[in-house]
Amino acid sequence: MNTLFEQLLQTPVVYVTRDIERALGLPADTSGYRIIANSTPFAKALAQTRSDIFLIKEEQLLDTWDLLQHEAVISYINTLSTARVLVFKNTKQIEQTCRDNGWMLLNPPAAISDVVEPKISQVSWLDELARYLPPRRVCVCKEVFWDGTPFILQFNRSHTGSGTMLIEHEEQLRDIQHTFPDRPVRVSEYVHGPLITNNTCVTNEAILIGNISYQITGLMPFTDRPFATIGNDWALPHQMLDETQQTQYEEIATAVGEKLRDAGWKGLFGIDVVMDE
């Protein structure tokens, strides 16, 4: 961590985010680190005892792109002459705004994430690494048929499990097809078992694999979606996975990281892996 703190002193970072919770990983008032977010009751309570938080109050919460275009934000960032901008999820609009204002954006290019992250385009992007995915097919929603076996249906874009559905009966499928008949979907074999995840960092020199955690999903009353993520358990994977399984997990993370690096990615990415029971 000392290396990080020293680097922040030389090249400050401004984390711009709709939800301040995403930016709270570093200790309060870390030198060279600033947070720009919407003014919410929680954010205001934090800002009362900290000097590294800059809040924007509007009638509605602003997304990251709107925050970056806000006059007060532009003025604030421009007072930090050597600061780099960091966001949770990059977009082409955010990239253009940063270029227009002469700010260096630290996130990987949106052109890469727009291909890698969506559930359908990532299948072809993975190419030979698609062997790590469960058996699947891509089609439009109305072409999916029910054969009596539960399966996973995913829309192209989803985050924290919101676009992933376990189809357990024909009526459920028909309801989705009625609402989204022509929407592209990925249909995958349902693998029953715990979900594990981690974050990995891609650098020029190495693929740095972060700690593996158990992904807590579908826990009432926090969500009514079976695959929606509501938290993580960092100790459980060390009890669930044997040495061979941990090695297999690291092989997958490394292979994906190397492919991302070849595509021009630098920074963090995450993978979700299901342990077949």
Give the pLDDT confidence of 108-126 residue by residue, as tens digits. 999 999 999 999 999 999 9
Domain hosting residue 251, numbered range:
192-274
Q: Hunting for tokens 């992007």 — which residue is that?
A: 125
Task: Flag whether 125 is in a domain.
Answer: no
Task: Flag whether 252 is in a domain.
Answer: yes
Task: Flag whether 207 is in a domain.
Answer: yes
pLDDT at 168: 94
Contacts of 220 (CB under 8 A, 6+ apart): none
Least confident among 42-56, 93-107, 152-166, 209-223: 152-166
Q: Distance (Å, rounded) from C-alpha 149 to C-alpha 54? A: 52
Each residue of 56-104: pLDDT tens digit? 999 999 999 999 999 999 999 999 878 899 999 999 999 999 999 999 9
pTM: 0.85
Q: Distance (Å, rounded) from C-alpha 91 to C-alpha 117? A: 12
Q: Hunting for tokens 């919770």 — which residue is that?
A: 21
Listed residues 143, 163, 189: the one ending a domain: 189
Q: Distance (Å, rounded) from C-alpha 150 to C-alpha 192? A: 10
Examine the domain organization and report whether 78 and 18 are in the same domain. yes
Task: Flag whether 119 is in a domain.
Answer: no
The pLDDT of 260-271, averaged and rounded, is 95
pLDDT at 265: 95
CATH number at residue 59: 3.40.50
Examine the domain organization and report whether 202 and 183 are in the same domain. no
Alpha carbon dihedral 46, 48, 50, 56, in 10-degree steps, equals: 70
Examine the domain organization and report whether 146 and 237 are in the same domain. no
Domain count for the chain: 3
Examine the domain organization and report whether 71 and 82 are in the same domain. yes
